Structure 1
Amino acid sequence: MTGFSPTRMIGGRYVVLGDIDGTVRRASDRVTGLQVAVEELRLPHDPGERTLAREQLLRVARAAGRLDHPGFVTIHDVVTDGDADHIVTELVDAPTLAERVAADGPLDEREATAMTRQLASALQAAHGAGIVHGDISPHTVRLGPDGKVRLAGVGKAVDPQRAARDPGFLAPELRDGGQPTPESDLWAFGAALHVAVLARPPTDGAVPVFGGGALGSVLAGLLQRVPRDRPSARQVVGALDDAHRLARASRRRGRRWWWAVAGAALGLLLGLAAGFVLATPRVEALTYGPDGDVRLDGPVAGACLAAAPATGVVLDAVDCAGPHGAEVVATLDPFGGRDVPYPGQEAFSRFAAGACTPVFDAVVEPSGLELVALVPARAGFATGQREVHCVVRATDGSALDGGRVAGKRG
């Protein structure tokens, strides 16, 4: 399709008003009077293949219409004009993520986090309805002036020419000839986020470095090369929501901080149970139990410990008012009492790093302190010792005096 004029119509209904981008036109709907976006699709020339592709497009359009999710640009119609098929959507007058970054540079962390949360929620709805988007990139993400984010281009899920698009936003498995899946959507989502925070697409084989908080962990997790290692959209929503609640709790610095601590680990708990954990910073982890690095002499949840955790040490609880070696600032149960096989020390260590680090950042007065995690060894796990203890100790090995959790000093 080339050129346009105010008298040209698509499908006998949509009056073309101008170009928007490439094969996308601004048009006026003669029936409703609304302005819409009309995009030409590149369906196969073979009649049989074209019929199948059109049927799939209609199924996707109907399903997308039923979603009624604020994060998606609404699909109004699918029309054929001559030998070309078109998808008609609402017109969103907002810059794309690509345009915004090109004009103003990377988004700040707050705006990028809000964008990520909204896109993850939209994908959660789509994947839950069996819809694979198929074309997530900075060019299909629109950023409204009101902070609302919209995702366009869902019709590309049936576009047989998808491999011709920018490979920087195609998951590795699609570049290798695979078919679009929810997991490939998630990689493309991560690539778009990479542009949002670093102003460039990801590089093959390079680990993205963007802070150590929830957004950085989400970014690293989405860009995992192996599809099953990527977090689901639901896990991304949960991780960001829990991080937000924990941040609010840290600002209050009140006695109810532990409820936020329990919630902050939810996304990580889900990931560990599924065999996946978001990329996390390194934290020293020591095993406990009969075959562990340390032995716990009785319950330690919420306690101060006589000695600092170290290989070969027996840890028992003491009064926080006197000198002590360490303090347990959070105790987390990754499995909620469920009967599961031992996930391995490495998986527990990764979980502990991801769950204990935000707790340390939010609720500990960190001057001169460092974080260590106590995780179950195999034999202890088999006897029911399944908790992860987040512990602080002095960086110089000296004794502590008074509780170091915010609101607990005394």
Structure 2
Amino acid sequence: MIENDPFRCFVPYPEAPVKHASSGPLAGLTLAVKDLFDVKGYPTGAGSPTVLALSGIKTKTAPIVKAFLEGGARFVGKTHTDELAFSLNGKNAHFGSPVNPAAPNRITGGSSSGSMAAVAGRLADIGLGSDTGGSVRAPASYGGLFGIRPTHGRLPLKRAWPLAESLDTAGFFARDGEVFARAANAVLGKDRLSLPETPRLLLADDLFAQAVPEAERVLRNVVQRIVPILGQPETVRAVSDMDALYWAFRWIQGREAWASDGAMIERYAPPLGPGVAERFAFGKAVSDAEVARGDSVRKAFRAKLARLLGKDGVLMLPTVPDVAPLVSAGEPELEDFRNRALRLLCLAGLSGFPQISIPVAHRDDAPLGLSVIGPKGSDKSLVAFAVRFERAARIRLA
């Protein structure tokens, strides 16, 4: 277990023994687990004092955690999460906020804040998180890490605290491509669709335009650096109506979040933190008509993206609009950035397709990720491509 935690990554639970395989593809690597997933011998708090009080000590371990342990990874602790996983900022009004090791004056992002900080701070090799609206991908960009949101349903979520059932996924972080690929090979299983070694590259012009101009310039330069090795991308328009996608995601997420946590909130009236309270109130008020409209938009976008990618396409886009906001930013500024980020992050959630944030750039001395989205079920081959992409960018940069 970790005795020194300078980045405030870990929930200070009393230590309990957690068995792992003595050999396997992940032998010699350490694992940090977001405090949404059950680990035998520990409570599960979900970033909420009320959930923690109700939890009790778990007697079984979540299947996805077991998959890492059976692969040989050694558990080193449970990590902080934003309250009920309903935030992108990495701030928790009750338990405090982890420090971003890659940019201490900037937020970690959330809700997988502690897992990101543990990996970026070299306190763990692999960080298990969850991603509903960007909770692995945004922190990965902010911390200079690889981070994957797999195909929806690819990794099990049994014995994990839910947020929005049709959008929730498990995901994970790693600092370098070799460990990222080892983790993917250990837990992702067999691809339903394998990308070719050199997939058809698509640059989403409209999505790059969602980034701030300075970030867009930096990321477009990264794409140009990899062209001699990976080929010239085709420029495409990925989205017909960004506002429609944004609201479809908000309505679906809001309704499902209230379905997950609303009964607990109404029964115990927990003091919810800034932003979290407002998002649950929004979710409670979502109408049946809005959910139906959101589902219709989701189905149409999923079909459009499937046609665009085919069986061999990879879509490139900014993970988020810019580097992480400053820790000193106020709630209105953070909420504005969150809403802008959701316009990029909602695409994988609505489609259910896999997305990986790749650590390829910096701006203002802070990390900035570029993402790739692949066809449904192409996760392992998308990981292999993401690792090649990062190496190509690094070679050209050197």
User: TM-score range with shorter-chain normalisation?
Assistant: under 0.3
Q: Which has the higher strand share?
A: 1
The alignment's TM-score, normalised by the length of structure 1, stands at: 0.24
Greater RCO (CA < 8 Å, at least 6 residues apart): 2
- TM-score between the two structures when normalised by the length of structure 2: 0.24
Judging by fraction of residues, say which structure has more helix: 2
Which of structures 1 and 2 has the bigger CA Rg?
Answer: 1
